[in-house]
């Protein structure tokens, strides 16, 4: 018979290497997370798959427009949202933010190379944005939204044919789109960023018991995985 002490030691070892004994393979839990059409959202989901796997939880995803994504999770239609900049708790009372961020990046203005633009000299700046991106709240007062479209890819194509001159987007998603469209020599990023932000994972409150467990796994992932957008110094 296996002694009680040996069982305790085995459980402690599993915890130290990042595995949780809470869910056994025969009782595997499944969660459905929403993602929206931004590379940062998909990247957050991929990182979370690794974190949840250590808890014995399998993830599936549903693609939704950015504005519907968070509302659907708040309504309880889905279990959580992969990643989102910090939201006001009173706006989404049924969501719980996992404290440790899963991604870090900047929101920048992008312009077509050759387009004359100096943010310090412009009284009014008009930008194109992806619809449903809550980080528009970080835009300075003199920045106005001229175009809103469903896909970031659309915005960069519009930039290429001169239908827009400036785009406001997160660097994670913008880097992917620029490379995918072969626009490295056509687009210029304006430094410094409008805002440096963290992407957080959100769960519907019915899964409140998972919050400390997945938070610990995200900490382990951030500490051990050499990821270009892993948070360096987490804060609110």
Do residues 88 and 116 share a domain?
Answer: no
Torsional sign, CA 10, 30, 206, 79: positive
Q: Which two tokens stand for residue 159?
A: 């930039």
**CA–CA separation, 109 vs 111, rounded Å?**
7
pTM of the model: 0.78
Nearest to 218 by CA among 103, 106, 59, 105: 103
Q: What is the pLDDT of residue 91?
A: 95
Task: Indicate which CATH number applies to the domain containing 83.
Answer: 3.40.190.10
Do residues 116 and 179 share a domain?
Answer: yes
Instruction: Give pairs for 159-163: CB < 8 Å, separation 24+.
Output: 159/110, 159/111, 159/112, 159/128, 159/183, 159/186, 159/187, 160/112, 160/186, 162/112
Do residues 61 and 87 share a domain?
Answer: yes
Would residue 232 count as lying in a domain?
A: no
Is it the case that residue 54 has pLDDT exceeding 60? yes
In the predicted model, what is the mean pLDDT of residues 24-36? 80
Q: What is the pLDDT of residue 180?
A: 95
Do residues 96 and 208 share a domain?
Answer: yes
Question: 39-53 and 171-180 helices cross at what angle (nearest 10)?
Answer: 110
Would residue 230 count as lying in a domain?
A: no
- Which residues form the domain of 176? 105-196
In the predicted model, what is the mean pLDDT of the chain? Answer: 88
Q: Which two tokens stand for residue 92?
A: 């989404």
Would residue 209 count as lying in a domain?
A: yes
Range list of H helices, the chain = 4-16, 39-53, 66-74, 152-160, 171-180, 211-224
Do residues 111 and 192 share a domain?
Answer: yes
Q: Which two tokens stand for residue 103?
A: 């991604």
Do residues 38 and 92 share a domain?
Answer: yes
Do residues 204 and 172 share a domain?
Answer: no
Q: What is the pLDDT of residues 7-17, one digit of tens each?
A: 444 444 444 44
Do residues 47 and 95 share a domain?
Answer: yes
């Amino acid at each position: 018979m296996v002694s009680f002490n040996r069982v305790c030691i085995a459980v402690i070892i599993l915890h130290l290497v990042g595995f949780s004994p809470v869910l056994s393979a025969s009782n595997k839990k499944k969660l459905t997370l929403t993602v929206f059409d931004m590379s940062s959202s998909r990247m957050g989901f991929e990182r979370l798959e690794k974190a949840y796997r250590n808890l014995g939880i399998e993830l599936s995803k549903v693609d939704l427009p950015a504005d519907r994504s968070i509302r659907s999770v708040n309504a309880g239609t889905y279990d959580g949202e992969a990643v989102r900049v910090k939201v006001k708790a009173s706006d989404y009372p049924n969501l719980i933010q996992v404290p440790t961020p899963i991604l870090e990046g900047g929101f920048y203005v992008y312009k077509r190379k050759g387009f004359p633009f100096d943010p310090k000299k412009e009284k009014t700046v008009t930008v194109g944005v992806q619809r449903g991106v809550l980080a528009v709240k970080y835009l300075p007062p003199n920045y106005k939204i001229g175009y809103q479209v469903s896909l970031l890819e659309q915005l960069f194509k519009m930039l290429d044919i001169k239908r827009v001159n400036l785009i406001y987007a997160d660097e994670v998603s913008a880097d992917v789109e620029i490379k995918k469209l072969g626009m490295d020599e056509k687009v210029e990023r304006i430094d410094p960023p409008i805002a440096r932000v963290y992407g957080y994972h959100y769960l519907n409150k019915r899964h409140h018991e998972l919050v400390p467990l997945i938070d610990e796994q995200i900490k382990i992932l951030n500490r051990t995985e050499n990821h270009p957008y892993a948070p360096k110094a987490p804060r609110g």
